[in-house]
Structure 1
Amino acid sequence: MIYEMRAVFWGVLLACVDWGRGQETRTFDGDVRDFAIGDSSVYVVTEYRLYQLNHDFTKIIKRDNPKVVYPNQEAPPSNETYPFKVNILLPFIKNKTLITCGTTKCGYCEILDLNEISKSVYSEDIDVGSLDPGDSTIGFIVDVAENSYIMAGRLQSRVSDACANSGQLLVLRNTLEGQNGGIFSDSDESATPYIDTRHKEKFQFVDGFQSNSHIYVFSNFPKERQVRLIWFKSENNKATTLKSLKGAKLKCCGNMERRELLSSSVIPGSGGLHGQVLWAGVFTAGNTSDPINTMLAIYNISSTQLKNDDPDFCYEACPKSLPKGTTSDLQPEAVVFKYSSMTSVLALRHNSWLVFFIGTGDGQLIKLAVDKAYKPACPRVLYKSDDDRCVFPKMHLDPVDRKHVYMALRNQMLRVPVAQCIEHKSLKDCWSAQDPFCGWCESENNKSRCSFQDDCLQPSAWISISEDSQQQNMVSYQVEKSSSGEKITLAVKIHLNVQGTGTFTFACNFLTRSVHLCDKTSPAPAFSRCSCLFSSDQLPAEGLDVTVEIRAGKQNLTEKLMLTNCSEISGPPTSALCSQCMTAGCSWSNDACSWTPRSANSDPIQEVCRLSQSGMNYSEPVIVSIVPSVLSFHGRNHALMTGKNLHHVTRVRIQGHMDCSLKESPVWNNTGSSLTFHIPSGNKGSVSVCVVLPGGRCLGKATVTYGSSPSCTGLIPSTTWASGKRKIKVQGSHLEFVEGVVHDHAPQTIQTNYSSGSLWYHTPLFEHMNQPVTSTVSLRVANQTLACSSQLTYHPDPEFTSYTAIKTGNDLRVTIE
């Protein structure tokens, strides 16, 4: 069992202070400080309020944080009032209560009704979390024997003399009044057990959770630049549980060290009584200019990996002399994603797939599927904000439908679907989405559809992507010639996974010119493979067109193949020739095409053919610069590339993470040392750029970084005259990405000028007007127009109808009317 209650943490890590489909949004009156999910409600804390919402945000209950009164003993006597600021928020599902702890003048805790937060069940002046907003706090529910406790941790650096302060780093606190010592007590039967550390001056809690009978707490030691894990075994009481302390250092990641942990998630489905516990963490190097500043790594944190005592943590007070021994180092099982600014992660398991939801510092939610060999698929952006709001370091899955992720962006909460299966209207489209959550549900009466697995009722078959590997085509094939050369085997594999209780039909039919191709020695089909044996005499020199009809359940699939004599595919070893060879079902090795059988786990065509030679004697192009190299996610028109040996470049290729999201743009005005091209739209982050030569090779290397969308919040001045030509300054953000301005009454794009953070332009003419009118102003960014939030008012040109001149002393006063 994996306990869903996750840690609450505060302090330095919270400094990170509409794009997408189907998400629900709720905006609050202040920044989100924390949020938690219960079985029926979402609980959100801002600076001064606590909110309770339905899972879909349709109902909301507000509760102002109480103000706690402290008597002032100085003369004359008076009362001092302090607001309650929450830093621990814990839904205690078993007890149907919501535990809130935080600071007033000193510590304060209040227990509320889980279903109605306006009802207070209990309150007490007690310091459970840290008392200073800059200090670190952690709190989560754990089960020890038959009791549930709060594993509460805090670092106290600045505490008022008027406040009691035990200085204990980690304790187990009661959750019920009937437990020994009463509610919130940290005492045991005969003692007050706790965990201490030698590094109180510099310490950050990051996360904590319980997996079965083991409790894990993660922290950063900034001074030593270390990430630490301490581990406890749930025993029969508080003391024996805390005495079981073990520890380890988390190392990330090889020779690319990332020494600070930002966010983490236990991977569900791991564990069991003696099973492996997998955990994922986001690590940073602290260099925001590095395009791979953060890494997502998977670790095995099973109890068998944690056998050493930790000299930096102690049961009760740490002795002055350092104990002997060293802390063990844990290395990652795999690094599955690299990005400039990951801030949060949530891990799920679906069948054999691991699925990670990744929040970023530039306001994106990315979904990443990873197979059982820890090979990541192409990442997919589920949501991206127009601006640079940082995703809160914690995300939650909807515990009821398990199909939505909750995330916070500054003063907003979002509920984002994990997948949009219903958008795919055929088996091929459903499969092509390469989404572990989506499969084709076979139903009677032509009601088959792409759906989540639990929406496909038995005995219907649910057909999803294959679990053994990641494929680029639903159907693949390979040809092989027998050792005697007399027979050719055409083997076809369908890359599907089928789940369901009913029977599943699988059959293949191989035709050429409407005639059956296979001889009688061909083996019977067995899901997911079928083979056809035929005489090599049936393969003419010009090739053989073959139609393969596949019956998979109720689905009929047809594949058109062109079989070619592998030995006849010859010529200069270009990537195009390699691709032709592999597509024909042959093997490519040593820059030649052959009948040699391909291994079952051979690389995809793109990987095999990537490094093939061009076959032509071109000088290798070199990219010197791309202007602009930083742009908005809308893209950029008329970008300029400079370099050397660019004469033969036909296209510019933009490649996203792990060579996914490949896009190409044609070039023009190619002088050999410079060329012009359009940069297509993309997701936020850095992408690689290379130039394509005839033959398909892509050489040269450069980086382009996509940022947020420009916004226009104001125009100064907000008025102009009909003849135009008035200088207008545009207010907003990311204005350096703007390519021009458009007025709704004038279709042409107006040139803008950008310098030192300021964007300005001259207004166009407004013809045939005799009274004030408003004009909508929009920013032109690539192929998008983004409207300003304010309009510009045009007035008729001033007219001089008459004037009078009066001499006053040595001056002449002229009055114009």
Structure 2
Amino acid sequence: MILLLCLLCFICGEPAWSLEVQEFTVKEDIQQVAVANNNLYVATVKTLYWWVNLTLDKSPKTAQLPSNVIIHMFLFVKNNRLISCGVNEKRKCYCESRDLKNINKVVSSENILMGPQRSSSGSVSFLVDVKKNSGQTETYILTAIKNHRDKTEEDRCGADLKTINLHNADQKQNGGLFSRLDQSGSSPPGIQTEADVDFVDGFQINSTVYLFSNVASGGKTNKVRLIWFQAETSKSDTLKSLRGATLSSSGGEGSRLLASSVVPGGQQVLWSGVFSVDKGGENTELLLFDISPDLSREANTDPDFYTSVNKPNSSSKPKSLEPKAVLFKKKYMNSVLVVKQDNWMVFFIGTSNGQLIKLPVDKNNRPACPKELHRASGKENVFSKILLDPVDHKHIYLIFKNNVVFFSFFHVACTRLHIRVFLSL
């Protein structure tokens, strides 16, 4: 049966691949990775590496970092800035902005907390574009911070952050760079929760912002939550537009979302998630959902997330979303990325024991033959995020503890895939 299935994959025109491997070196454990325009930025404990135009230049440029924990790092391409936040050697919080074309040039630096105080695990951050009444677009930094009711961390930075916040990404915005103030200048808006929340992923498509999390509320078992925002005319209006849904998997209540990737293009907003369906976390499944936002439901009435100072007495039950398809079941899956190849969706799946698997899925959501593309030496874990270059969509980055695997793919007579590996010293 397996041979027959593979033969059918070939006949139906499954994308073909060829592989090539090259090696590059980095030092220390990787903390954060950011990519844009065929440029790769890797932050370790003390060093920022920059590979310029990866197809031509194999020697990274470097800069020293003032931090021993990098919590956030992302690229603000239209402002030519690399923004990073962390905790420095003196155990003080900071955020700084560097020139994308000269990473040793620090444009601005603030002693400020923007995110969790110890680790990026369970928290996410990304840039959000909000259209103003004037027709102009403002870019903010959304931070969604892991929230546990049992507060064991000391507050080293004196910040009054909410669970979800919007920060300025430009010095010219009201309140200055990294400020949470809104246009009115009153207290900064934010979203709060009383539940234990671990955030998994977030992104923006057109005017809608999507945020995924695992939520355990009131001592109940875990549920996987999606909340939507509409990028309105202000920070406050954007956050108050929140609506929510609960995602189902075969594991029922207690299942956890491990990784996430949106399917590019299409009228429907299709999204894939890796779910752990047992208490041990070994058994995992890849599911496909339609997460198109339902704007007919009343905004800001979610039972887990709210914008008021105190939790409202009344709330509405979130919409329940069932998967369109169960695409793949395999142990130890922990990361996923989807790209489009003609009429196929091609899923790149990482595992916690170091595998990279390619899974083609046709337009009817039927998976073809999975194929192992890469296996790490030893027992290296794949990080829960596989990155795609956001501009040319032709480069994929698979992240391990001490190395990054760089994939470049393009169309010729058939689809070809090239790999470059960044190994630790």
Instruction: Indicate which of 10, 35, 38 corresponds to 1:37.
Output: 35
Match of 2:190 in 1: 194
Q: How many residues align?
A: 381
**Counterpart Cα distance in 2 of 1:266 and 1:35:** 19
Match of 1:359 in 2: 350
Superposed, which structure 2 residues align to 1:109-508 within 5 Å?
109-133=95-119, 136-145=122-131, 146-155=137-146, 157-190=151-184, 191=186, 192-199=188-195, 202-222=196-216, 224-253=221-250, 259-270=255-266, 275-286=267-278, 293-304=283-294, 307=297, 309-319=301-311, 322-399=313-390, 402-418=393-409, 440=413, 450=414
Match of 1:65 in 2: 65
Cα deviation code 1:77-134 (max 9, x no counterpart): xxxxxx4421111100110100101223232101011122111110001110111237
Shift of 1:197: 0.7
Answer whether contact 2:389 2:395 (CA < 8 A) is retained.
yes
**Counterpart Cα distance in 2 of 1:414 and 1:172:** 32
Superposed, which structure 2 residues align to 1:574-593 within 5 Å?
none
Are positions 1:103 and 2:87 aligned together?
A: yes
Match of 1:24 in 2: 22
Shift of 1:296: 0.8
Match of 1:776 in 2: none
Shift of 1:149: 0.5
Answer whether contact 1:347 1:355 (CA < 8 A) is retained.
yes
* Structure 1 gap ranges (5+): 1-19, 67-82, 419-436, 441-449, 454-817
**Counterpart Cα distance in 2 of 1:51 and 1:108:** 19
Shift of 1:286: 4.4
Shift of 1:402: 3.6
Cα deviation code 1:300-357 (max 9, x no counterpart): 11113883631110013233x5424212211111110111011110111222211111
Q: Structure 1 residues 269 and 342, CA, compared in 2 at 3 Å: closer, same or farther? A: same
Shift of 1:225: 1.0
Partner amino acid for 2:47?
R
**Counterpart Cα distance in 2 of 1:231 and 1:108:** 29
Cα deviation code 1:716-771 (max 9, x no counterpart): xxxxxxxxxxxxxxxxxxxxxxxxxxxxxxxxxxxxxxxxxxxxxxxxxxxxxxxx
Answer whether contact 1:198 1:318 (CA < 8 A) is retained.
no
**Counterpart Cα distance in 1 of 2:201 and 2:359:** 22
Partner amino acid for 1:304?
D
Partner amino acid for 2:82?
L
Answer whether contact 2:34 2:40 (CA < 8 A) is retained.
yes
**Counterpart Cα distance in 1 of 2:260 and 2:354:** 18
With the length of structure 2 as denominator, give the TM-score of the two structures.
0.83
> Could you say which structure has the greater relative contact order, defined with CA pairs below 8 angstroms and 6 or more residues apart?
2
Shift of 1:160: 3.3
**Counterpart Cα distance in 2 of 1:144 and 1:289:** 37
**Counterpart Cα distance in 1 of 2:110 and 2:329:** 45
**Counterpart Cα distance in 2 of 1:404 and 1:127:** 32
Answer whether contact 1:25 1:413 (CA < 8 A) is retained.
no
Answer whether contact 1:24 1:414 (CA < 8 A) is retained.
no
Deviates more, 1:305-314 or 1:222-231: 305-314
Answer whether contact 1:258 1:294 (CA < 8 A) is retained.
no
Shift of 1:400: 5.9
Answer whether contact 1:311 1:322 (CA < 8 A) is retained.
no
With the length of structure 1 as denominator, give the TM-score of the two structures.
0.44
**Counterpart Cα distance in 2 of 1:365 and 1:166:** 41
Partner amino acid for 1:251?
S
**Counterpart Cα distance in 2 of 1:327 and 1:152:** 23
**Counterpart Cα distance in 2 of 1:196 and 1:136:** 16
SS of match in other structure, 1:143: strand
Shift of 1:167: 3.6
**Counterpart Cα distance in 2 of 1:120 and 1:372:** 47
Partner amino acid for 1:61?
K
Q: Structure 1 residues 161 and 405, CA, compared in 2 at 3 Å: closer, same or farther? A: closer
Partner amino acid for 1:341?
Y
Shift of 1:438: 6.0
Answer whether contact 1:257 1:285 (CA < 8 A) is retained.
no
Q: Structure 1 residues 245 and 410, CA, compared in 2 at 3 Å: closer, same or farther? A: same
**Counterpart Cα distance in 2 of 1:306 and 1:95:** 36
SS of match in other structure, 1:313: coil
SS of match in other structure, 1:304: coil
Superposed, which structure 2 residues align to 1:588-607 within 5 Å?
none
Deviates more, 1:131-140 or 1:310-319: 131-140
Match of 1:86 in 2: 70
Match of 1:484 in 2: none
Q: Structure 1 residues 305 and 378, CA, compared in 2 at 3 Å: closer, same or farther? A: farther
**Counterpart Cα distance in 2 of 1:216 and 1:162:** 30
**Counterpart Cα distance in 2 of 1:85 and 1:306:** 42
Shift of 1:413: 1.0
Q: Structure 1 residues 316 and 86, CA, compared in 2 at 3 Å: closer, same or farther? A: farther
SS of match in other structure, 2:294: helix
Answer whether contact 1:226 1:249 (CA < 8 A) is retained.
yes
Answer whether contact 2:389 2:396 (CA < 8 A) is retained.
yes
Deviates more, 1:385-394 or 1:363-372: 385-394
**Counterpart Cα distance in 2 of 1:167 and 1:312:** 17
Q: Structure 1 residues 366 and 148, CA, compared in 2 at 3 Å: closer, same or farther? A: same
Answer whether contact 1:207 1:217 (CA < 8 A) is retained.
yes
**Counterpart Cα distance in 1 of 2:253 and 2:328:** 14
